[in-house]
């Protein structure tokens, strides 16, 4: 909406510039010829790019051309062109002619309100501009201070957020370390079972009481106790032991002539 309004305002201003220029074309031409003797009006129109109303003047004797540009402020200001329209002998008329004459050597002559200011008006303009510049600088300083304050606030919030994240990471790290230590501790009763298994018999290898399966024959022979010279072979002794056991087992039965169990070792009673 801002750009559309700006465009609309510009179009309206250009229409006003062209309307005022066309309405007072005779007066503008008379002022130009009065300041540039020997020149005559050749063409006129609106400069849409700069919003100026222009006159083109030619000198028939020399063939030179001059272009005069009038700003919209000059055409519409009540103390400039409208004052000359109201009074042909107004003091501002001589100022306009002098302004054009001072630029007679230029191919393009610009007539503005600033170029027609008197000494008093220039002093007043300078005071107004100085006051406006002072207010503008104060406003700029306040704006910079506000921007610095906001930047400092953003930096402080960023540091607080970073500290909060760092504390959260440290807390998570401690929790993970505590959980890892808890998992490394042995379960209840587990150590006892391992110690009981470690109490192996004489035939084990010292680890859990289990015998070594892949032990070499030489190592097995070295672990056997020494046999006396007149001892019977191991196979015969094992056979005898086994046979005795079988005989004792047969004697424990209750045959027809055998003694009763618990009758005093098989002796007849008196």
Percentage of residues of the chain with pLDDT beyond 90: 37
| Residue written as token pair 């032990």 | 215
Which residues, other chains included, contact 204 with Cβ-Cβ below 8 Å and sequence gap of 6+?
Answer: 210, 211
Per DSSP, the residues of 13-54 read HHHHHHHHHHHTHHHHHHHHHHHSTTEEEEEEEEETTTTEEE
pLDDT tens-digit readout, 142-158: 999 999 999 999 999 99
- Order the strands of the 108-111 sheet from edge to edge: 39-47, 52-59, 65-71, 108-111
Q: Is 81 exposed, middle or buried (0-12, 13-18, 19+ CB in 10 A)?
A: buried
Max mean pLDDT range (105-109, 188-192, 260-264): 105-109
CA 110 centroid distance within chain: 53
Asked if pLDDT for residue 227 goes beyond 80, the answer is no
Q: Are 204 and 211 in contact (CB under 8 A)?
A: yes
Asked if pLDDT for residue 74 goes beyond 70, the answer is yes
H/E stretch holding 218 reads helix 217-223
Q: How confident is the model at residue 239 (pLDDT cuts 50, 70, 90)?
A: very low
pLDDT tens-digit readout, 125-138: 788 888 999 999 99
Q: Give the Cα separation of 191 and 203 in Å (integer).
A: 23
Supply the pLDDT for residue 270: 38
Q: Is 39 exposed, middle or buried (0-12, 13-18, 19+ CB in 10 A)?
A: buried
Closest of 167, 198, 124, 169 to residue 113, by C-alpha: 124
pLDDT mean over 63-92:
90
Listed range (75-79, 106-110, 195-199) with the worst mean pLDDT: 195-199
Q: For the whole model, what pTM was predicted? A: 0.47
pLDDT tens-digit readout, 191-202: 455 555 555 544
Q: How confident is the model at residue 238 (pLDDT cuts 50, 70, 90)?
A: low
């Amino acid at each position: 909406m801002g750009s559309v309004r700006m465009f609309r305002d510009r179009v309206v201003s250009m229409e006003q510039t062209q309307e005022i220029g066309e309405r007072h074309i005779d007066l503008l031409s008379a002022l130009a010829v009065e300041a540039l003797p020997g020149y005559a009006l050749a063409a006129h129109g609106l400069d849409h790019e700069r919003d100026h109303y222009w006159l083109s003047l030619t000198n028939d004797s020399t063939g030179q051309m001059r272009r005069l540009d009038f700003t919209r402020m000059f055409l519409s200001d009540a103390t400039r062109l409208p004052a000359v329209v109201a009074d042909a002998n107004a003091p501002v008329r001589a100022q306009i002619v002098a302004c054009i004459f001072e630029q007679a050597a230029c191919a393009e002559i610009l007539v503005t309100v600033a170029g027609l200011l008197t000494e008093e008006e220039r002093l007043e303009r300078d005071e107004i501009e100085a006051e406006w510049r002072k207010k503008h600088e104060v406003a700029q300083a306040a704006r910079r201070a506000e921007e610095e304050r906001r930047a400092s606030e953003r930096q402080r919030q960023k540091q607080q957020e970073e500290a909060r994240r760092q504390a959260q990471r440290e807390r998570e790290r401690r929790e993970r370390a505590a959980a890892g230590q808890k998992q490394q501790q042995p379960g209840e009763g587990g150590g006892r079972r391992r110690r009981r298994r470690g109490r192996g018999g004489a035939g084990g290898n010292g680890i859990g009481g289990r015998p070594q399966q892949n032990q070499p024959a030489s190592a097995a022979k070295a672990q056997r106790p020494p046999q006396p010279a007149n001892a019977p072979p191991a196979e015969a002794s094992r056979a005898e032991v086994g046979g005795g056991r079988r005989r004792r087992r047969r004697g424990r039965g209750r045959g027809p002539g055998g003694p009763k169990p618990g009758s005093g070792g098989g002796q007849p009673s008196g």
